Chain A
């Protein structure tokens, strides 16, 4: 009996110890779970007797095989009867060839194994980017959120250079954001030689960030406000060097292969490759959770910018600043809510066919949407009041919001440029837009959780 009670006491101590350790290492455990989920979704690549062939996967195998069998990279493409310069950047193909040469695995198995590696890298990349921008909670949510977009899975579950580029992009953005110059340039170099579209998005995102910083500085100059010139100069330099270095590496490759550097002569530009993205396909390929919560994240970003901008204007009487900000936030929230409830549309009666709103409410009439939007708008104002006082949110660098918004803006323009008649990339860049959307969704969800944590605490304190 004594032994049994000791044993019970021992196991209870052990359980307490295990719980304590699990709580202590909760982030690592959650991240591990996210990685397991990601590997689970990517495991389908192992299912068939042969690796997937959709998406031109075998053209990369051809170049890798050429490297293995001939000991050189093929400068002439195997596509469509051959005879055309092999313009596709060689990084991924050489990686597969090296893996086969080192391990003796078949090209088929090595290609599938690399997909599982991407499955591990994707949540890890989003974790480190989300954590750096908005802390551990957002990083952890982003790691889980990265599993949800169908389009991201479609492009990372097949042995494609694009999958490698997508897995590296969050890591590259992290390096550029933290101004880790060496790692940033190394990532830019690797992505440039792995996938053209991925580097186009990296360059586009950094370009927009660069532009936003310039606008921010102009704003400061116009208002006669000072700014940290050393910090902003370092930000501008890192972005600019990243852009120039990536362009130089790619153009050098293009010049060596086809003898000119005019990218607008490429068929992708000439043929206006890509299809328009409808709202239905956007939601289907992004997932309803990411689509909804990313709007919440976008709202938080815009509300932060609004506060920042209004606070900067000295000519405004300080008494009206909080009210003005609340009014603008109210407008953002009511419009965003109307947009979501109206089936992600601003057209009248779009909600009659409800495909996107995640709760079955039936078709909503205009008055119902208006009423709910009003409530959501009030909640939005309250949310920002709470977040303003949150110690966690006060720690976040305002540049994190700007950086994330820049990535969103670059992706949005790449996807919806048909609206301005450009019609390039479009659906081909939806998967890149999903990178900021995942972080935005994590920020949105974390903001709501922060509200649930902080509001009762603040409310009870402020009125007692």
Chain B
């Protein structure tokens, strides 16, 4: 009876009602705080995907590509270079695009990665020819061919028996595969 009389007491009910409104108010402030936190976290996560990766020299070179190579010409490229090239010039890269529809794509990625990594000119040339590439893009950035980010190894490109420099803008270069 005692507990019930407290529950039915008008003052108690008033206090309880105020308590519920206060809890709702404080919780709303908490929700607002975490709303801001979650939104910032979302922006932080998305921000990592905003990098264009490709360089302005790469973009600039598209004019030369369009003027000096045939449509759908194949270049040795990494993923980002190949996709940028197809989008800007309708040429093709040894890498880049919808990998899920490509047969033996992992082997291809591994070999293109090796093209950029090796200092062996003959080996690099053989890889390029295996994938019908007549040119190689040597970007002024790290490349990503599916496994690791790395700077292109350039000494092999000095071997004129296999490679011929056809375009240069600072450190950005195209070589013709001989």
The yes or no answer to B1 lying at the interface (CB within 8 A) is no
With A456-B17, A459-B13 known as contacts, the answer to whether A41 contacts B43 (CB < 8 A) is yes
B12 to chain A, nearest CB (A): 10
The yes or no answer to A322 lying at the interface (CB within 8 A) is no
Chain A positions within 8 Å of B74 at CB level: 81-82
Chain A positions within 8 Å of B94 at CB level: 80-81
Contact B52 A50 (CB under 8 A): yes
The yes or no answer to A14 lying at the interface (CB within 8 A) is no
Chain B positions within 8 Å of A179 at CB level: none
Chain A 354-366, CB within 8 Å of chain B: the 1/0 string? 0000110000000
The yes or no answer to A158 lying at the interface (CB within 8 A) is yes
Residue from A153, A358, A464 within 8 A of B34 (CB atoms) = A358
Give A148 to B34 CA distance when docked, in angstroms: 10
Q: List 22 A-B contacts (CB under 8 A).
A: A41-B43, A41-B46, A55-B49, A56-B97, A56-B98, A62-B87, A78-B97, A79-B92, A79-B97, A80-B92, A81-B131, A81-B132, A144-B35, A147-B39, A151-B45, A157-B49, A287-B38, A287-B42, A288-B38, A456-B17, A460-B13, A464-B10
Contact B41 A273 (CB under 8 A): no
B15 to chain A, nearest CB (A): 11
Chain A positions within 8 Å of B101 at CB level: 77, 79, 84-85, 87, 266-267
Contact A78 B92 (CB under 8 A): yes
Residue among B30, B43, B132 with most chain A CB within 10 A: B43
The yes or no answer to A54 lying at the interface (CB within 8 A) is yes
Chain A positions within 8 Å of B23 at CB level: 452
Residue from B30, B72, B132 within 8 A of A78 (CB atoms) = B72
Taking Cβ atoms with an 8 Å cutoff, the residues of B that contact A are 7-8, 10, 13, 16-17, 20-21, 23-24, 27, 30-31, 34-35, 37-39, 41-47, 49-54, 56, 59, 72, 74, 80, 82-84, 86-88, 90, 92-102, 105, 108, 131-133
B144 to chain A, nearest CB (A): 10
How many A residues have CB within 8 A of the partner chain? 68
Contact B46 A452 (CB under 8 A): no
A150 to chain B, nearest CB (A): 4
Contact A268 B100 (CB under 8 A): yes
Give A37 to B39 CA distance when docked, in angstroms: 9
Chain B, interface SS category: helix
A218-235, CB < 8 A from B: none
The yes or no answer to A455 lying at the interface (CB within 8 A) is yes
B33 to chain A, nearest CB (A): 9
Chain A, interface SS category: helix
Residue from A44, A66, A87, A455 within 8 A of B43 (CB atoms) = A44
Contact A58 B87 (CB under 8 A): yes
Additional A-B contacts beyond A61-B88, A77-B101 (7; CB < 8 A): A50-B52, A54-B51, A59-B87, A60-B87, A148-B35, A285-B45, A460-B13
Give A266 to B74 CA distance when docked, in angstroms: 25
Give A337 to B98 CA distance when docked, in angstroms: 43
The yes or no answer to A103 lying at the interface (CB within 8 A) is no
Chain B positions within 8 Å of A455 at CB level: 20
Contact B35 A154 (CB under 8 A): no
Give A47 to B16 CA distance when docked, in angstroms: 51
